[in-house]
Chains A and B, each alone.
Chain A
Amino acid sequence: MSEDKTVLCVRDLTVGLDNDPAARILDGISFDLKSGEILGLIGEAGSGKTVLARALVKGLGAPLVTRSGAVHYKGADLLGLSERKLSKIRGKEIGYIGANPQGSLDPTIPVGNQIVEKLLSVSPGMSRKAATERALEVLAAVRIPSPEVRFHEYPFQFSGGMMQRVMIVDALVTNPAVLIADNITQPLDVTVAAQIIRLIRDLREQFSTAILFISSSLPVAETVADEVMVLQSGRIVEKATPTALVQNPQHDYTKSLLSRLPRIWGEGISGPEAADTRTLMTVEDVHRTYFVRKKGSFRGVNAVQAVRGVTLDIREGENIGIVGESGCGKSTLTRLLAWLESPQAGSIRFAGQDLSKLGAKDLTKLRQSFQLLLQDPYSSLPSRMPIGRIIAEPLLIHGLCKRSEIRGRVLAAMREVGLDPALENQLTVGLSAGQRQRINIARALVLEPRLMILDETLSALDQVEQSKLFEVFDRLQKTHGFTYIFISHDMALVRKVCHRVAVMYLGRIVEFADNNALFDNPAHPYSRALLSAVPTLDDHPFSSDEYLLEGEPPSPVHIPPGCSFRSRCPLAQEICGRVDPVAQVLPGGGSAMCHLVGQDAPARSLAAGK
């Protein structure tokens, strides 16, 4: 090896489309990757990140073709190698991890066998026993609990975060010189993503691998990378250390990226203030448990306790945020709030009326007043119906106005959400996610509801579209006095728009507080952990080294006795194992379910003393 520690040297890599000689998906990409270095690459959706990741190992499929350039590895140009020679390097010396951990392995074969299969494929001559031992060793190194058991489990038995660990094992098991990590934290919850990032940092020291860390999020790349490259429409426009990039960006595109990043903490940053208005909806101690047949049993049933006693009041004209990790019961709560399902215990009152006491007719009438907006703008709209007709549908169902008036109201709603009225007779084919979400909003809007429930409505959209839709929401709130419930895992979004925030954990609201109180002074240890995991460039009041949780929430089938957060809580005490805490009122007016809330001071000093 030469003195220069460069392991991968990319020169003038250009990728186009086979049917369009002029197209440039990647345009003249050049960079060096040194051993032991983590090189970050950030770019928005469609900038060519994944294409680059795959082009480096000659893994492009039609219609993408590499037009020119070279990828030098150990003196050879990878792009010029035969498939046979390439197969000695790819997967063995250059590892690859993608953004879709759940889909990356054959669903019908245990994960361990697939890692062994890969190991045997790239290192012929290795015995199966040695390969199994090696796989188990690396599974333990990425801190997968009980690796001997999980080795024999199937991909569907893993959570997203655990599966991503498996894929990291799959890539590192051969001790590669280079690791290409393509947006590996993107599908994960913030807490789990933060764990993965921490893991990558640890592993780099253990394995001395050069890592190309591709991410769509600048704050994420900033936390791990030694240097960051900025990719815009297939070109690298800037390359700098993370600090230099954040403090002194050179290129206009980098500057605009930075300016568009939502801020969470810092001077002059505060969330909307809650106002004391009339209560619109009261949720009292609602429960919802699903019974699922136990696999491999004759009559056994698993009780999945999705929502376990949620109490919430929603005031007229405010924005409520509901946050939490996946599997915490957010979506079930949404379905209860929208009365798509009724709670098994507890009650929901809307505008003073108990929803469970209403007859079918009154309920339909009242339903006009609370509308649900879904996450996926593609599957929530019928594809064979003209847009105007989609929006008119609720009016027809509820028979709210004369047929002759419908068209006028549909057009008015379209204008209000910023849809071109000329789209009235067109189908939804070819519309962007943002446009589609506007149709969804217009469809809810024609009924003139009072409460809109937004289940991850904005998470499918990019930053620009998100902020445009916010303006729409804001304007509608001002003109119509809407109340919004934002169900989201995006803490930055919640910080920006919500007056009050409920933090959910294992089917309960563990803390419910005003925006500023929660973000600046969270009372529940889980809230602190959640905040510590949020990727942001702001000065973080909760360092992840101190607050970040290991592991994942327990299964909602087997909820531990006592405080359900105890198994992950850094402050857990003897009482937490015995007594299930009840909601306690906080000085600021919020509430939290924690034994330590009353004794605020010792809890803090304990955390600080860690």
Chain B
Amino acid sequence: MYLLNFLIRRVLQGLVVLLIVSFAIFALLRVVPGDPARLIVGGMAPDEVVVQKAEELGLNDPIVVQYVRYLGDLARGDLGNSFFRPKSGATVGAAAYDDPSRNERAEVLDLILERIPLTLQLAGLSVVFALIISFPLGVAAGLNPGKWQDRLAFFSGSVFVSLPNFWLGIVLAQLFSIKLGILPSIGYKGFEYTILPAFVLAIGISPFIIRTLSVSIAQIMHEEFIAVAPLRGLKRPRIVVAHAIRNASIPLLNLFGIQLGILLGGVLVVELIFDYPGLGRLTINAVLQRDFPIIQGVAIFISAIFVFINIAVDLAASFIDPRLEY
């Protein structure tokens, strides 16, 4: 019952958030310079073609009408069509305005769905890497405040946070792909192509995880229930694993919900460096070409992921600690 109430309430709240986000994006894209109709038909097209295209797309209607129409399409799962990308895959930027391929433009939803698995794979693997790096460092630091473990965690955290991901990506590609030849780094032909970019992303987010873990473990180790646990007959490994880390995982989960934004930002850059065919590269190309439907679609998609993951995070936290209620 609790679960159902929770989900209904949070999903409704999430929809409101998405509505606001989508309107903000929609409105902002309409005020930046650049006439979509002109962009679609190409620079060589006569003016009347542009006017006709604008009429066809409904660009002459008031912005609110356009937005409502967009929402209606959205509700039916239609994110619109790309301005430039044809279904065939080639870009149409250079084709003439009356080239038939211009009318066969790709659906934004298809473009996103095609790439999202790769991006999720990249983000997921980088979180796994980050946890593998951070847990030993953070837990050891939290259990030994002021000792070498603490200093090691602090030091590595400082180094990691100071490494720019574009630099690290290039250096690692140089080392592992060119010198050693053990890991591929350009494009995507299989799972092994995800490893290097995921590692670069992991280095970027692990300092925050290390810090949160070490601080919350150190704090929890001072709690009364940890102090009396050995007197009650519990053994040290059990106390650390079943009680200290369990309690420290709640701040960690909350951090994860917030860090997601940083992670997605990192994905954009890293996908570009490694020429990884994910959502990030799609977005960057769309921005460069002013392909508004794609930008819009990606933004709404990402905010939906954001909302969804934060619901999941809060739900997980309230399962771990039933005192929490969202």
| Chain A interface residues toward B at CB < 8 A | 54, 57, 59, 61, 87, 90-92, 96, 98, 100, 103-109, 117-118, 121-122, 154, 156, 170-171, 174, 295-298
Q: Which residue of B has the minimal Cβ distance to A83? A: B236
Contact, CB under 8 Å: B233 / A121: yes
**Chain B residues numbered 203-243 whose CB sits less than 8 Å from any CB in chain A:** 223-225, 227-228, 230-235, 238, 242-243
Q: Which residues of B contact A92 (CB under 8 A)?
A: 233
Give chain A nearest CB distance to B116 CB in angstroms: 33
**With A108-B321, A122-B233, A298-B5: A117-B228 Cβ-Cβ less than 8 Å:** no
**For the complex, is B175 an interface residue (Cβ under 8 Å from A)?**
no
Q: Which residues of B contact A109 (CB under 8 A)?
A: 243, 246
Contact, CB under 8 Å: A121 / B325: no
| Chain B interface residues toward A at CB < 8 A | 1-2, 5-6, 8-9, 223-225, 227-228, 230-235, 238, 242-243, 246-247, 320-323, 325
Among B1, B227, B234, B322, point to the contact of A154 (Cβ < 8 A). B322
Contact, CB under 8 Å: B321 / A296: no
Contact, CB under 8 Å: B1 / A296: yes
Q: Which residues of B contact A174 (CB under 8 A)?
A: 233
Q: Which residues of B contact A104 (CB under 8 A)?
A: 224-225, 228
Contact, CB under 8 Å: B228 / A298: no
**With A117-B242, A298-B5: A105-B225 Cβ-Cβ less than 8 Å:** yes
Q: Which residues of A contact B223 (CB under 8 A)?
A: 103
Q: Which residue of B has the minimal Cβ distance to A171? A: B232
Contact, CB under 8 Å: A96 / B234: no
Bound complex: CA A174 to CA B232 (Å): 10
Contact, CB under 8 Å: B321 / A90: no
Contact, CB under 8 Å: A107 / B2: no
Contact, CB under 8 Å: A87 / B232: no
Give chain B nearest CB distance to A100 CB in angstroms: 5
* A contact patch SS: loop
A-B contact pairs, 9 of them (CB 8 A): A87-B235, A91-B230, A109-B243, A121-B234, A154-B323, A174-B233, A295-B325, A296-B325, A297-B1
Q: Which residue of A has the minimal Cβ distance to B4? A: A298
**With A61-B227, A98-B224: A106-B247 Cβ-Cβ less than 8 Å:** yes
Q: Which residue of B has the minimal Cβ distance to A92? A: B233
* B contact patch SS: helix
Q: Which residue of A has the minimal Cβ distance to B2? A: A296
**With A154-B322, A295-B325, A296-B2: A121-B228 Cβ-Cβ less than 8 Å:** no
Contact, CB under 8 Å: A296 / B5: yes
**With A104-B225, A154-B322, A156-B323: A297-B233 Cβ-Cβ less than 8 Å:** no
Bound complex: CA A296 to CA B321 (Å): 14
Which 4 residue pairs are nearest across A and B when measured between Cβ atoms?
A91-B233, A103-B224, A296-B2, A122-B233
**With A103-B223, A107-B321: A91-B231 Cβ-Cβ less than 8 Å:** yes
Q: Which residues of B contact A108 (CB under 8 A)?
A: 246-247, 320-323
Contact, CB under 8 Å: B228 / A118: no
**With A103-B223, A103-B224, A107-B225: A54-B8 Cβ-Cβ less than 8 Å:** no
Q: Which residues of B contact A156 (CB under 8 A)?
A: 323
Bound complex: CA A57 to CA B6 (Å): 46
Contact, CB under 8 Å: B232 / A96: yes
**With A104-B225, A105-B225, A107-B323: A54-B231 Cβ-Cβ less than 8 Å:** yes
Contact, CB under 8 Å: A298 / B8: yes
Q: Which residues of B contact A122 (CB under 8 A)?
A: 233
Q: Which residue of A has the minimal Cβ distance to B222? A: A61
Q: Which residues of A contact B5 (CB under 8 A)?
A: 296-298
Give chain B nearest CB distance to A43 CB in angstroms: 20
Q: Which residues of B contact A296 (CB under 8 A)?
A: 1-2, 5-6, 325
B5, B225, B242 pick with most chain A CB within 10 angstroms: B225
Among A57, A117, A298, point to the contact of B234 (Cβ < 8 A). A117
Q: Which residues of A contact B247 (CB under 8 A)?
A: 106-108
Give chain B nearest CB distance to A149 CB in angstroms: 15
**With A108-B321, A156-B323, A297-B5: A103-B225 Cβ-Cβ less than 8 Å:** yes
In addition to A98-B224, A298-B9, 20 A-B residue pairs with Cβ atoms within 8 Å of each other are: A59-B230, A87-B230, A87-B235, A90-B230, A91-B232, A91-B234, A96-B228, A96-B231, A98-B228, A100-B224, A104-B224, A104-B225, A106-B225, A107-B247, A107-B321, A121-B233, A121-B234, A121-B238, A154-B322, A297-B5
**With A104-B224, A154-B322: A121-B235 Cβ-Cβ less than 8 Å:** yes
Contact, CB under 8 Å: A170 / B325: no
Bound complex: CA A154 to CA B319 (Å): 12
Among A91, A103, A106, A171, point to the contact of B246 (Cβ < 8 A). A106
